[in-house]
Amino acid sequence: MELAVEADVEAVEAVSEILGRFAPGGSSVEPAFELVDEGLGARVDPTRPAIVRAYLPARDAASAHRVALEAEAALGHLQAFGLRPIGELRTRLVDEADWADAWKAHFPVMRIGRRLVIRPTWRRHRAAPDDVVIALDPGMAFGTGLHPTTRLCLATIEDAADRGDLDRARVLDVGCGSGILAIAAARLGAESVLGVDTDPIAIEATAANVRRNRLARRILARAGSLPSGERLFDIVLANLIASVLMTLAGPLRDELRPGGLLVASGIFADRETEVADALRAVGLAVVERATEGDWVALTARRPA
């Protein structure tokens, strides 16, 4: 059975988490897209609502109806807390042979920033001369380019590359998910990337996507959290959430060489000041901010 609901950008993450509770394969997000050029991909339109979908086995109509009611009640609690607009929950039965891959139909080739192109492995793409193409199959791991926090990170990585900050850089990707940020960093010039995640599914997804992009010699995916000062990095990527960024501000700083950059994303706009204050409190200087809708990414530098 497919569960689907429209959600405004500020509610997407919460709706996705709730629907994911009912689905063994998690949930997927289908943003509104604007076509750039036939064959060249699409860009996300953050001003229009996205559709969050989840797929779950339903043995009979009664069990499907029960799950739908539970999901609807959980979504109702979100609206009670002021997260709007959230559309009505829609359900439909899909063939058992198709449900596990049904989300793939809503994952197009995406253009992010000026050069980055995210190509699902099951789609073809006619690349422009300057395109930097990432072949991706996220599976159940976070990081498709569909969420604003991921897009903000990717655009910030591209900006760093344009400034020369990625040239022969050593990069740490904290919470690597599908590996999308690690792969982008390597494609744009990083010499080596270490991706860490506490979720074994994420490590498997990152390793598989690294192989697909033929970057196994430059990217290592490892289970666990921060590497505890084994070596210092030129850039640390941390697409997490505000509370975790605040807790880890000191340890993240300790992973940076003097003069190194921290890219902190996953920050809802009303938590930006708290996160920025936490970064400054450990001696980091916030040097750049990027926004999309109600999401913010901060770039901070460790003093030389």
* 156 occurs within a structural domain: yes
For the CA atoms of 57, 62, 64, 66, what is the dihedral angle to 10 degrees? -130
Q: What are φ and ψ of residue 256, in 5° steps?
A: -90, 140
Tokens describing residue 278: 């936490």
Are residues 76 and 174 both part of a single domain? no
* 133 occurs within a structural domain: no
Give the C-alpha separation, 56 to 19, whole Å.
10
Are residues 156 and 212 both part of a single domain? yes
What single-letter amino acid sits at 17? E
- The pLDDT, as a whole number, for residue 262 is 98
Are residues 178 and 72 both part of a single domain? no
Domain count, the chain: 2
Q: Angle CA(186)–CA(116)–CA(9) in degrees, nearest 5? A: 115
Task: Decide which of 106, 130, 164 is a domain's last residue.
Answer: 106
- Cα–Cα separations (whole angstroms), residue 12 to 43, 89, 137, 223: 17, 14, 21, 28
Give the C-alpha separation, 150 to 290, whole Å.
12
* 56 occurs within a structural domain: yes
Positions of the chain with pLDDT lower than 70, given as ranges: 10, 23-27, 31-46, 57-61, 64, 79-86, 95-103, 106, 138-146, 228-230
User: Rounded to two decimals, what is the model's pTM?
Assistant: 0.75
Are residues 169 and 216 both part of a single domain? yes
The β-bridge partners of 181 are: none
Are residues 90 and 182 both part of a single domain? no
Task: Decide which of 86, 106, 126 is a domain's last residue.
Answer: 106
Tokens describing residue 114: 């000026």
Q: Which tens digits make up the pLDDT trace of 187-196?
A: 999 999 999 9
Are residues 192 and 295 both part of a single domain? yes
Note whether 205 and 195 are within 8 A (CB): no
* 222 occurs within a structural domain: yes
Are residues 145 and 92 both part of a single domain? no
* 123 occurs within a structural domain: no
* 227 occurs within a structural domain: yes
Domain that residue 6 falls in: 2-106
- The pLDDT, as a whole number, for residue 11 is 76
CA 165 to chain centre: 22
Closest CA to 34 of 23, 24, 25, 45: 45
Are residues 215 and 279 both part of a single domain? yes
Q: Is 34 helix (H, G, I), strand (E, B) or coil?
A: strand
* 226 occurs within a structural domain: yes
* 127 occurs within a structural domain: no
Residue 153: burial class (beta carbons within 10 Å; 0-12, 13-18, 19+)? buried
Are residues 146 and 248 both part of a single domain? yes
Are residues 95 and 149 both part of a single domain? no
Q: CATH number for the domain including 179?
A: 3.40.50.150
- The pLDDT, as a whole number, for residue 274 is 97
Task: Decide which of 84, 106, 128 is a domain's last residue.
Answer: 106
Q: CATH number for the domain including 79?
A: 3.30.70
DSSP state of 291: E
For the CA atoms of 46, 48, 54, 59, what is the dihedral angle to 10 degrees? 180
Are residues 145 and 21 both part of a single domain? no
Q: Which tens digits make up the pLDDT trace of 235-291?
A: 999 999 899 999 999 999 999 999 999 999 999 899 999 999 999 999 999 999 999
Are residues 255 and 156 both part of a single domain? yes
